[in-house]
Amino acid sequence: MLARQRYLLDYTLAALLRRKGRHLSLLLVYGALVFALASVLLFGSALRREARALLQDAPELTVQRLVAGRHDPIPAAYLAEVRKIRGVAAAEPRLWGYYYDPASGANYTVLVPATDPPPAGSARVGRGVARSRGLAVGDVVAFRDARAEPLPLRVTHLLDPASELLTADLFLVAEGDFRRWLGVPEGLYTDLALRVRNGREVRTVADKVTRALPDTRPVLREEVARTYDAVFAWREGVGLLLLCAALFAFAIFAWDRASGLSAEERREIGVLKAVGWDTGDVLRMKLWEGAVVSLTAFLLGYVLAYAHVFWAGAPLLAPLLKGWATLYPEFRLVPHVEPAGVLALFALTVVPYTAVTLVPTWRAAVADPDAVMRGAQE
Amino acid sequence: MIRLEDVRKAFHQGSPNEVWAVRGVTLTIEPGSVTVFRGPSGSGKTSLVSLVGCLARPTSGRVRLGDRLVSALPEKFLAELRRRTFGFVFQQFHLVRGLSVLENVMLPAYPEAPPYAELRARAEGLLGRLGISDRAGARSEWLSGGEAQRAAIARALVNDPQVLIADEPTANLDTERSRDFLEIVAGLKAEGRTVILTSHDPLVCEAPLVDRVVPLRDGRVEGAA
């Protein structure tokens, strides 16, 4: 049985080599499709994983003040109220905001670090910012503050490239510079970051915060994680939607290529049957053919997608899936493959293609070899 | 012994272009004999050898191989018969393009899956016997008519069948090549094989080695009731 399969596979490989042009074009289109689909899936899942890993260090609970349903600076006095709530291990005020830089056309995130803030008049900046403004350590960059006065900042440090997914657009500055730059008066903060003693009681603590400070909204870390997931999944969905068109085009192409047997192929099936191959042998041979083409294309496409996403930094997908306005982060994703994703892609590409190749072969192979050969001659 | 009993074959049955290619043929072919189905184009020669060789099933009637009623066998057994009992040489030879002569010759044995070295030796032996060893590595489409026919004969013999069927074997050959073919047939007959040919070539029909000529016209044996 095994020897018979080996002979059939041997014949299949010879048949593939005989129709090089046809199979090579099919392999290229098929491989490109798997490459595109796998790139989006690998990139999306790796981004979500990366963002979740980075969020592990985020505070369990963030308290924002709401005025007219919108985020408003929170008074320093709220800090003392929050610290009184049982279960809160630590509470720190945070200062952060956004600044639109007309020179680069990009939005920056400006933040005062909780520990070790930079000295007044200096800044640590993210790699995306540095790229967009052409900044290096030691350079001085000036912005207009809230009163339209110039605010010069000397770059003392560029942030770690490993954290670029979250820090590409970041400016770390001193508290005084922040308040002057973005116009936040003394005694007000952007929000409060809370550490909760017992991780399982985060929701209870959040309820207590809402009761003690009715004009605030506590944001749970898991909610942020869910939002990240949703954002990336949405972007991935957009990508996949675009690829649906490609998938459809491929389906037509594959159907055309695989489903219609040429007169030459029909004749060949007739010859094989006439010299003693049975229907099963012909079907197995075609099954091998479909499997060899689709598995090769699948492996080729998947390996290239892996290299594209994890080695090359997904240059073809970054604008769609990273999408940080003008500042695209440059970073290496940690290689991560989800077996379920591989299986789903396999099921969507290899299985249908192999099946499509079998139908016309079966139709040709169940006919009398005499009829197949007469038909092919017509 | 091969026996045909009131065998009929229709194509496109039930449609306006229905054609009856064979219209009630009854005959017996003795083992070890050389039989020629002779007749003009459209007389049903090819259809008849297709029925004898299990390439097609009769629309009605029976085909027996020895005591076995083969016309009623399922496809799987017919394929086995085509592989083990019959060897075919088609009019257009039908070698598989792109494969070498040697690969073409080995093709019918693939489903039997003999050890590769043994199969290769068998195929090379046949090519040697038929005088085209030097063409073993050539692609089939590069062969001349005579070479292609020899390759097709080698392919037909690779499973050592008892019956060789050749459809219009000399139609594409010059006189010298036709004589070469008849010599090969004489050799096969001497080995005790049954040979069935279709032809309207006098060189074949009148060859001394032929035991019986069956004249056909309009799907019937001429002279038969």
Counted residue by residue, chain A has a size of: 378
List, for residues A121-168, the tens digit of each pLDDT value: 999 998 888 888 888 999 999 998 889 899 999 999 998 876 666 678
Interface of B with A in 16-45 (CB under 8 A): none
ipTM of predicted assembly, 2 dp: 0.91
Q: CA of B119: which chain A residue's CA is closest?
A: A7
- The rounded distance, in Å, linking the Cα atoms of A3 and B215 is 45
**pLDDT score, position A249:** 67
* C-alpha A282 chain-centroid distance: 43
- The rounded distance, in Å, linking the Cα atoms of B133 and B101 is 9
pLDDT band at A374 (very low <50, low <70, confident <90, very high): low
pLDDT band at A258 (very low <50, low <70, confident <90, very high): low
**Contact of B36 with B212, CB cutoff 8 Å:** yes
Residue A82 buriedness (CB in 10 A; 0-12 / 13-18 / 19+): buried
- The rounded distance, in Å, linking the Cα atoms of B223 and B39 is 13
**pLDDT score, position A345:** 80
Residues in chain B with pLDDT values less than 70: 224-225
Instruction: Give how far Cα B93 sits from Cα of A189, A373, B34, Å.
Output: 90, 12, 20
- The rounded distance, in Å, linking the Cα atoms of A376 and A361 is 13
All residues of chain B having their beta carbon less than 8 Å from the beta carbon of residue A281 are: 79, 110-111
Domain architecture of chain A: domains with CATH? 2-54+227-377 (no CATH), 74-189 (2.40.40)
A276–B111 CB contact, under 8 Å: yes
B98–A272 CB contact, under 8 Å: no
Considering only residues A163 and A23, tell me which one the structure prediction assigns the higher pLDDT.
A23
Judged against a pLDDT cut of 70, whether residue A328 lies above it is answered with no
**pLDDT score, position A198:** 85
Q: Please compute, for residue B207, the number of CA atoms within 13 A of its CA located in the half-sphere on the CB side.
A: 24
Q: Where in B14-56 does DSSP place strands (E)?
A: 19-29, 34-38
* Strand pairing report for A150-158 and A122-125: parallel
- The rounded distance, in Å, linking the Cα atoms of B132 and B224 is 42
Q: Select from B56, B57, B111 the Cβ nearest to the Cβ of A278.
A: B111
Q: Select from A19, A267, A276 the Cβ nearest to the Cβ of B82.
A: A276
Coil/strand/helix, residue A344? helix
**Residue partners of A44: CB distance under 8 A and separation at least 6:** A232, A233, A235, A236, A239, A321
**pLDDT score, position A256:** 65
**pLDDT score, position A227:** 77
Percent of chain A exceeding pLDDT 90 equals: 25
C-alpha gyration radius of chain A: 30
List, for residues A187-246, the tens digit of each pLDDT value: 999 999 998 888 888 899 999 999 999 999 998 888 877 777 777 676 667 667 667 766
Q: CA of A373: which chain B residue's CA is closest?
A: B94
Single out the residue of B100, B187, B83, B162 nearest to residue B135, CA to CA.
B100
Range from A20-24, A164-168, A311-315 carrying the lowest mean pLDDT: A164-168
**pLDDT score, position A375:** 54
Single out the residue of B119, B124, B178, B173 nearest to residue B151, CA to CA.
B124
Alpha helix stretches (DSSP H) within chain A: 2-18, 20-55, 77-84, 127-133, 164-167, 175-182, 202-212, 221-254, 263-274, 279-306, 318-321, 339-365, 369-377
Structure tokens that stand for B172 in this block: 């594409």
**pLDDT score, position A378:** 41
Question: Is pTM, for the whole model, over 0.90?
Answer: no
All residues of chain B having their beta carbon less than 8 Å from the beta carbon of residue A3 are: 113, 115
Structure tokens that stand for A142 in this block: 């000036």
All residues of chain B having their beta carbon less than 8 Å from the beta carbon of residue A369 are: 55-56, 82
Q: CA of A9: which chain B residue's CA is closest?
A: B110
All residues of chain A having their beta carbon less than 8 Å from the beta carbon of residue B154 are: none
B50–A370 CB contact, under 8 Å: yes
Numbered residues of chain A with Cβ closer than 8 Å to any chain B Cβ:
1, 3-4, 6-8, 10-11, 14-15, 17-19, 264, 267-268, 270-281, 366, 368-371, 373-374, 377
Q: Which residue has the tokens 């769609």?
A: A320
pLDDT band at A185 (very low <50, low <70, confident <90, very high): very high
Chain A interface, best mutation among B17, B92, B96, B159, by max A CB count within 10 A: B96
DSSP A186: T
* Chain A nearest CA to B94, separation (Å): 7
- The rounded distance, in Å, linking the Cα atoms of A90 and A88 is 6
Q: Which amino acid is at A58?
A: A
Range from A55-64, A95-104, A294-303, B139-148 carrying the lowest mean pLDDT: A55-64
CB of B168 less than 8 A from some CB of A = no
Secondary structure string (H, E, C) spanning A132-180: HHCCCCCCEEEEECCCCCEEEEEEEEECCHHHHHHHCCEEEECHHHHHH
* Chain B nearest CA to A20, separation (Å): 11
Question: What is the rounded average pLDDT of the residues A270-283?
Answer: 89
pLDDT band at A372 (very low <50, low <70, confident <90, very high): low
Chain B interface, best mutation among A370, A373, A374, A378, by max B CB count within 10 A: A370
Structure tokens that stand for A250 in this block: 């491929």
Helix (H) or strand (E) holding B188: helix B175-190
Judged against a pLDDT cut of 80, whether residue A334 lies above it is answered with no
